[in-house]
């Protein structure tokens, strides 16, 4: 599993002109799932996301987690994170999980985040989406389960 995490001041996702998810302060997560991912990978990344200390304390140091600041998550499925661009000029997406494997794990991931007490807004799996965000910092991290 691979997640691009962006700390944001606000974010939204639109599908066919309709807002399907919107948050204030928190994280925008671009979520990629590969064939080998399991529920164990999902739980590992979910725990990492909610406990990463990337929000500033009173001294301006990154000492607070998403849970500490009561932040929100905008979760976007993103199979292109597994695009291999090493050969040729067209990405190879063979490492991205097929929808029948990826969708249940993506939904499980969002559920685990919610169980940890975080408000989770989502895009629409498999759809073309317009994502808008104000990156805070900017802070952008890449998390991988393996």
Q: What is the DSSP string of 40-77?
A: HHHHHHHHHHHH---EE-TTS-EEE-HHHHT-EEEEEE
Give the position of tokens 């799996």.
Answer: 125
Cβ atoms of 3 and 31 within 8 Å: the answer is yes
pLDDT of residue 146: 80
Quick: pLDDT tens for 63-94.
999 999 999 999 999 999 999 999 999 999 99
Among all residues, which ones are annotated catalytic?
A: 78-80
Per-residue confidence at 101, pLDDT binned at 50, 70, 90? very high
Q: What share of the chain is helix, strand, coil (3-state, %, to 5)?
A: 25, 40, 35
pLDDT of residue 22: 98
Quick: pLDDT tens for 114-144.
999 999 999 999 999 999 999 999 999 999 9
Question: pLDDT at residue 104 above 90?
Answer: yes
Quick: pLDDT tens for 25-54.
999 999 999 999 999 999 999 999 999 999
pTM of the model: 0.95
Q: Where are the alpha helices (DSSP H) in 1-146?
A: 39-51, 66-69, 99-115
């Amino acid at each position: 599993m691979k997640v691009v995490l962006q700390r944001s001041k606000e974010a939204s996702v639109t599908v066919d002109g309709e807002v399907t998810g919107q948050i204030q302060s928190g994280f925008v997560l671009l979520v990629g799932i590969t064939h080998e991912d399991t529920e164990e990978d999902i739980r590992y990344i979910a725990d990492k996301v909610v406990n990463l200390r990337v929000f500033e304390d009173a001294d301006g140091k990154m000492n607070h987690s998403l849970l500490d600041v009561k932040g929100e998550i905008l979760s976007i499925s993103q199979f292109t994170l597994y695009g291999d661009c090493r050969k040729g000029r067209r990405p190879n997406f063979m490492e991205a999980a097929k929808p029948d494997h990826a969708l249940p794990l993506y939904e499980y991931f969002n559920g685990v985040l919610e169980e940890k007490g975080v408000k989770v807004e989502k895009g629409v799996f498999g759809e073309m989406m317009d994502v808008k965000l104000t990156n805070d910092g900017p802070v952008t991290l890449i998390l991988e389960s393996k």
